[in-house]
Amino acid sequence: MSGLLTIAGLGPGSAALVTPEVSAALADATDVLGYAPYVARVAPREGLRLHPSDNRMELERAGEALNLAAEGRNVVVVSSGDPGVFAMAAAVFETLESYPQWQDVAIRVLPGVTAMLAAAARAGAPLGHDFCAINLSDNLKPWSTIEKRLRLAAEADFAIALYNPRSASRPAGFGRALEILTEAGCGERIIIFAHAVTTPRERVEALPLRDARPEMADMATLVIVGNSATRRVGRWVYAPRRAS
C-alpha cells in the first residue's frame, strides 16, 4: 500500500479562496488532520475520518499524519492560509528529520492564499514594494529576536506584515512592538489592521501608526505596517513601486 501525505492550505477563510488543487486533495482524502477550527472547515462525508486537535500540538499531529500515510492512508494535514507560512509544513519536516523510518512516505505541499496577501488585497497594494513578514508569537523564539527583527525591518524600510499579533496569553507583545516601531521612526507610517479577512466578520482599518492602539489587534488580525513611502489614494493604500 502506498499512502500519501498532503500538506494543504485552506486560504484565509472564504470557500472561494480554497484552490481547486486543495479541494481535489480533500475529495480524495481518507483522513484530515489539523487544528480543530481548520478541520471544521472540511465538509464531513462517508469514508473520511476527521482528526481535529488542539493548538500547539503540531509535532504530535505531524507524527500521527506521517504514521497514517506510512500505513497506506491518503492523509491531508490542513492549515489556514498557506501551509508553509507559520504553519504545519515546517512541523512535518521537523518531525521527518527526527524519525528516519518515515523518510520514504510520499509527501506533497499544496500552497494556499496566505492571510498577508488577502489582507493586502483588501487594503489596495501595500506590498507593492519590498516587504517582510514577522510572526509576533514568542512561543518558539525569544522575544529579543522579535525586537531585533522589527528594528532592522524598520531601518531597512520594508513594509512589514505581522502575523499572530496579539493573543490572550501574550497581551503585552503587540503594544511593545508598536513602541519599538515608534522609536524606530515609524510613527507617521500607515498601519493596516485586517481582521478576519474574507469571512463575514471582516473589518479593515488603516491609520497613522502613532494613533494605533494595542487593542486594535487580536489573533484574527493581520497587521501591515507600510514603508516610508506607503500612501493613500482615495480609499486605497498602496506602496509605490519605486524607492529611493
Note the residues at the interface with ligand SAH (CB under 6 A). 12-13, 79-82, 85-87, 114-115, 119, 163-165, 194, 196-199, 219-222
Contact 223, 40 (CB under 8 A): no
Residue number of the CB atom closest to ligand SAH = 81
HSE-CB at 216 with a 13 A cutoff on CA atoms is 21
- Cell numbers standing for residue 62: 505531524
Q: How far is the CB of 244 from ligand SAH (least distance, A)?
A: 31
Closer to ligand SAH by Cβ: residue 5 or 70 = 5
Q: How far is the CB of 90 from ligand SAH (least distance, A)?
A: 10
Give the burial class of 242: count Cβ atoms within 10 A of its Cβ; 0-12 exposed, 13-18 middle, 19 or more buried.
exposed
Measured distance CA(191)–CA(10) in Å, rounded: 26
In the complex, least distance from residue 148 CB atom to ligand SAH, rounded to whole angstroms: 20
DSSP label at 18? Answer: S
Residue 13 or 173 having the CB closest to ligand SAH: 13
Nearer to ligand SAH (CB atom), residue 180 or residue 220: 220
Would you call 30 helix, strand, or coil by DSSP? coil
Closer residue to ligand SAH (CB): 78 or 96: 78
**Please, what is the minimum distance in Å from the beta carbon of residue 32 to ligand SAH?**
16
- Contact 5/73 with Cβ under 8 angstroms? no
